[in-house]
Amino acid sequence: MIINIIALGKLKEIYFKQACAEYEKRLSAYCRLNILEIPPVKLSKNSSPAEIQAALEKEAERIKITALKTPKAFRVALCSEGQRFTSEGFEKKISQTEREISFIIGSSEGLSESIKQNVNLQLSLSDMTFPHRLARLMLLEQLYRVFNIKNNTKYHK
């Protein structure tokens, strides 16, 4: 299986890099993982709603260009209004598709509606709000858990 993570922004903090690298290494036993980082649009601290919306649309164009590289992928947008799953339910949803899967993680401002409306699934990791860097780590861990549930290993108890 091929899994793509399309993320706006790079991991800057060493602890996020190390944690993500660990799950990337673990996932290599189960899938081919591609992480595609896209530069987010820089906003000032006091950006207006119109400036934020314009930035989200510009980021959407960047995401679409990257997503065109995986045209047949099952696309999943991470967003707060998305569907929530238990780990077992997430495994079932992932297992339902045999094709490539692309997860899209937005910038600190989120994702454009044009992206959210043109995916196969909107996914929420929690009712709580997390920084997008932590969302990447949480997604990697849950993907690792999915493969362990699927293979009935001890990791998921």
Q: 41: domain CATH number?
A: 3.40.1280.10
Range of the domain at 126: 2-150
DSSP conformational letter for 42: P
Task: Flag whether 10 is in a domain.
Answer: yes
Whole-angstrom Cα distance, residue 123 to residue 67? 17
Q: Which of 53, 42, 60 is nearest to 117 (CA)?
A: 60
Task: Indicate whether 157 pLDDT > 70.
Answer: no
Look at residue 120 in the predicted model and tell me its pLDDT: 93
Task: Flag whether 92 is in a domain.
Answer: yes
Task: Flag whether 156 is in a domain.
Answer: no
Q: Which of 18, 104, 95 is nearest to 59 (CA)?
A: 104
Task: Flag whether 90 is in a domain.
Answer: yes
Q: Please count the structural domains in the chain.
A: 1
Task: Flag whether 55 is in a domain.
Answer: yes
Name the H helices within 4-131: 14-27, 49-67, 87-95, 113-116
Task: Flag whether 157 is in a domain.
Answer: no
C-alpha 139 chain-centroid distance = 6
Residue 71: pLDDT band by 50, 70, 90 thresholds? Answer: confident
Task: Flag whether 155 is in a domain.
Answer: no
Mean pLDDT along residues 118-133:
92
Question: Could you tell me which residues come within 8 angstroms of residue 56 by beta carbon, excluding any fewer than 6 positions away?
Answer: 41, 106, 107, 109, 110, 111, 112
Mean pLDDT along residues 23-39:
96
CA angle 72, 75, 78 (to 5 degrees): 165
Look at residue 87 in the predicted model and tell me its pLDDT: 94
Task: Indicate whether 44 pLDDT > 90.
Answer: no
